[in-house]
Structure 1
Amino acid sequence: MALSFFLPARVGNASSAESLLAYFSRTGQRRYLEQLVAQCGDDLYYFLLKQSDEKMAEEICQQSWLKVLEKHQSFQGNSSFKTWLFTIARNCLLDEFRRQQRWQLLDLEEEVSVANEKWHDDVMLQISQHRQQLLFEQQLKLLPFAQREALILQLEGFSLSEIAAITSQPIETVKSRLRYARQFLQQFCGADNE
């Protein structure tokens, strides 16, 4: 229809958050607010959860939506609705941290210390895993092509029958290749651990 751009957009799941807020502000109908919560609620909760705990995230989430209800007329459209919502939530979260005096220096020092220890442990684990991966890849290259191919396909999640189809070999041949590949790698791992 040529004049369809004059008609208001049909409000549904595909409506933008900004248009839902505008419809809610104009009509006061709860369904528009429910659609806003459906569109942005999970993202808001996970944003808050990553910075606090479950209980606080739930509380701040509720406070944020209550502030949206109170201040929906003040949304200027200078940013997206989601940006405005997350700003409200962040401010509520900071207020709660201040109320609980989470910004005290001792708490921050403890958090930094714990974070540094965790970071160090994570880095050491990653280095160890990377070293094991490199050793495995080196040993994998020592396998004959057919055994290496079968093992890699199995590691990619293919079943025996799928590997047989890919390599045009009988299933028993694939089983043998996998068995020899595993024996070789187990010898390497056993020698490495001693």
Structure 2
Amino acid sequence: MTNHKKIISDLFHQYSDDIYNFLLYRLGKADVEDLVQEVFIRAMNGFDSFQGKANPKTWLYSIARNIAIDEIRRRNRRKWKSIIPFHFSHEPNTEETPEKVLQLTEENRELYHAIESLQSSYRDVIVLRGIKGLSVQETAEILQWSENKTRSTYHRAKMALQKRIGGATNE
């Protein structure tokens, strides 16, 4: 095994659960295992350009965020194709809901739905800062924002989230 394959393998074992949870929150779908693998395939392919220039965790989250954006675009295209007349292909919806996967309590389910209803930039910063506990600097690096923008967006996102859940959260 080459050195960079070993490093990516180690990173996979260290961060794959975090990446999985990030993609699950970001995409609201339980079928993110393939996307987690895609994150690490892209990391393997882009390893030469990485070479320790960033924190490995923030580098992987950045890749995951880009994959999530690509997946949302792909799903939106599929949704629009289904609206076009004479498109007779039908895929049954057998996907498990995130609630079933996460087995959320009623209170957590309310929080999950509130997060899911936020605009994507708010959702990203809430998941990264509030749920995954990343620092302002790490979150700014992943989102390619300034630290000030990260702080202010996180504050606005928390306020929007509090409105959606009736002020029940105190963070």
Give TM-score scaled by structure 2 length: 0.43
Q: Which has the larger radius of gyration?
A: 1
The structure with higher relative contact order (CA 8 Å, sep 6+) is 2
More helix by share: 1
